């Protein structure tokens, strides 16, 4: 019987030396320790062993079983370590400087232009503020000198929510809370998404972006306003663009202006993007009405200020020569991914 145990030990020893994979280890385990394996077969011979030798025989088979289990575990650990090393080596072989053969994403043109505007105004000492897309009647109208039943409310078709709140129709809706938050003197811009329930065409969307800007201090005048508008446009376009300033009415500014840009799609000749006028309304602006300063808790005797409401979506159209504003909300990745920014 001892001979059989020894020869099994020897043949296992030879085989375990040669294994090269986890699969081969598993095969050996089944061959030697499985239900129908060599060790079970040896143990089943116990009944033929004389009584006085049974104990020694059982101990010697159990001893063999433990040795085989130990060696299987060692072989398993050795192969796992080799496998890990192989993975590390292959990772080291990988050249991270090679160009990738996959598509990279791109920023939306609105994001690109918004970042540019933010950078320009930051460099001129303005802070960039955030404001909720949902607001209320007070912020969107009353605090802007547009009382209930004032005809100016017809200028903007508003989406009202069942809560009585509304989706902001213009970024001017943030003026009051920003004035209350910081007081005067104040230089801030606040970009944001606006919503208007109006029919769409090549230059009108129901959802679009504006950037509001306000500057309040002692002795702020229209010439400060014109300076900032000119600086911003020449920085954004990197070239001279033709603009015109004409009187405009907004209850929250006095005097108020419309700043139009000559259409860069048609060069001023007239096209659907500018409704065939050659000009695009881009940035209404004006001197903040004293009532609006008062509602914002600012002394209108001491301070004056200007405000503007730049049509950011239209600016992006002009900068990237996008003929139809609806492309920007279309989700058409092929069209949108071609804009890479400066
Ligand atoms: C306003 O929204 C005023 N709050 C702007 C303002 C701010 C005036 C501060 C004075 C002082 P208006 O409704 O004109 O104004 O919109 C401003 C700009 O937003 C427009 O010139 C245009 O560029 C853009 N805009 C307006 N409606 C749309 C629309 N439906 N789709 C795309 N852009 C629009």
| Cβ of 201 less than 6 Å from ligand 1 | no
| Cβ of 295 less than 6 Å from ligand 1 | no
* Cβ neighbours of residue 45 closer than 8 Å, sequence gap 6 or more: 1, 4
Using DSSP's 3-state secondary structure scheme, residue 290 falls into: helix
Give the single-character DSSP code of 89. H
Kindly report, residue by residue over 135-183, the tens digit of the pLDDT.
Answer: 999 999 999 999 888 887 776 689 999 999 999 999 999 999 999 999 9
Out of 134-138, 233-237, 279-283, give the one with best mean pLDDT.
Answer: 134-138
Among 247, 314, 325, the mutation site with the greatest number of ligand 1 atoms within 8 A of its Cβ is 314
What pLDDT, on a 0 to 100 scale, did the predictor assign at position 76? Answer: 93
Kindly report, residue by residue over 93-111, the tens digit of the pLDDT.
Answer: 777 777 776 677 788 999 9
Query: Taking the CB of residue 268, how many other CB atoms lie within 10 A of it?
Result: 15
Kindly report, residue by residue over 32-70, the tens digit of the pLDDT.
Answer: 999 899 999 988 888 888 889 889 888 999 999 999 999
Among 284, 287, 296, 319, the mutation site with the greatest number of ligand 1 atoms within 8 A of its Cβ is 284
- Cα 220 to Cα 102: distance, rounded to the nearest angstrom: 52
Of ligand 1's listed atoms, the one at least distance from the Cα of 315 is 23
Q: Whose CA is nearest to atom 24 of ligand 1?
A: 311
Of ligand 1's listed atoms, the one at least distance from the Cα of 213 is 9
Structure-model confidence comparison of residues 166 and 90, the more confident one: 166
* pLDDT bucket at 1, cuts 50 / 70 / 90: low
Among 195, 196, 210, the mutation site with the greatest number of ligand 1 atoms within 8 A of its Cβ is 210
Kindly report, residue by residue over 202-217, the tens digit of the pLDDT.
Answer: 989 999 999 999 999 9
- Cα 145 to Cα 138: distance, rounded to the nearest angstrom: 10
* Cβ neighbours of residue 221 closer than 8 Å, sequence gap 6 or more: 287, 304
| Cβ of 191 less than 6 Å from ligand 1 | no
What percent of the chain clears pLDDT 90, i.e. is strictly above it? Answer: 60
Q: Is the dihedral of CA 279, 229, 312, 306 positive or negative?
A: negative
> 117 pLDDT exceeds 90?
yes
| Cβ of 313 less than 6 Å from ligand 1 | yes
Q: Whose CA is nearest to atom 7 of ligand 1?
A: 309
pTM of the model: 0.71
| Cβ of 157 less than 6 Å from ligand 1 | no
The token duo for 222 is 């229209």
Question: End-to-end alpha-carbon separation of the chain, Å?
Answer: 86
| Cβ of 204 less than 6 Å from ligand 1 | yes
If you measure from the C-alpha of residue 342 to the centroid of ligand 1, how many angstroms do you get, rounded to a whole number? 26
- Cα 283 to Cα 229: distance, rounded to the nearest angstrom: 9
| Cβ of 253 less than 6 Å from ligand 1 | yes
Q: Whose CA is nearest to atom 27 of ligand 1?
A: 204
> 308 pLDDT exceeds 90?
yes
Q: Whose CA is nearest to atom 9 of ligand 1?
A: 308
């Amino acid at each position: 019987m001892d001979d059989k145990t020894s020869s099994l030990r020897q043949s296992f020893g030879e085989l375990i030396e040669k294994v090269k994979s986890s699969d081969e280890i598993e095969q050996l385990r089944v061959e030697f320790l499985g239900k129908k394996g060599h060790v079970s077969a040896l143990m089943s011979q116990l009944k033929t062993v004389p009584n006085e030798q049974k104990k020694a025989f059982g101990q010697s088979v159990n001893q063999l079983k433990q040795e085989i289990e130990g060696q299987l575990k060692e072989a398993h650990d050795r192969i796992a370590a080799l496998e890990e090393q192989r993975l590390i080596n292959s990772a080291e072989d990988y050249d991270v400087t090679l160009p990738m053969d996959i598509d990279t994403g791109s920023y939306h043109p609105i994001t690109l232009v918004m970042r540019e505007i933010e950078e320009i105004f930051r460099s001129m000492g303005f802070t960039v503020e955030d404001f909720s897309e949902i607001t209320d009647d007070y912020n969107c109208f009353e605090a802007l000198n547009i009382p209930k039943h004032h005809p100016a409310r017809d200028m903007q078709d508003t989406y009202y929510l069942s809560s009585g709140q509304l989706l902001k129709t213009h970024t001017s809706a943030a003026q009051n809370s920003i004035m209350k938050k910081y007081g005067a003197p104040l230089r801030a811009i606040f970009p944001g998404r606006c919503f208007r329930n109006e029919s769409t065409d090549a230059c009108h969307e129901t959802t679009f972006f504006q950037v509001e800007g306000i500057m309040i201090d002692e002795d702020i005048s229209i010439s400060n306003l014109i300076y900032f508008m000119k600086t911003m446009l020449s920085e954004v376009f990197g070239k001279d663009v033709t603009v015109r300033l004409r009187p405009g009415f907004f209850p929250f500014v006095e005097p108020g202006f419309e700043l139009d840009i000559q259409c860069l799609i048609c060069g001023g000749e007239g096209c659907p993007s500018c409704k065939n006028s050659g000009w695009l309304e881009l940035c209404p602006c004006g001197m903040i009405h004293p009532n609006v300063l008062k509602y914002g808790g600012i002394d209108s005797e001491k301070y004056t200020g200007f405000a503007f409401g730049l049509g950011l979506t239209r600016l992006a159209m002009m900068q990237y020569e996008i003929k139809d504003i609806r492309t920007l909300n279309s989700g058409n990745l092929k069209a949108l991914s071609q804009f890479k920014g400066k």
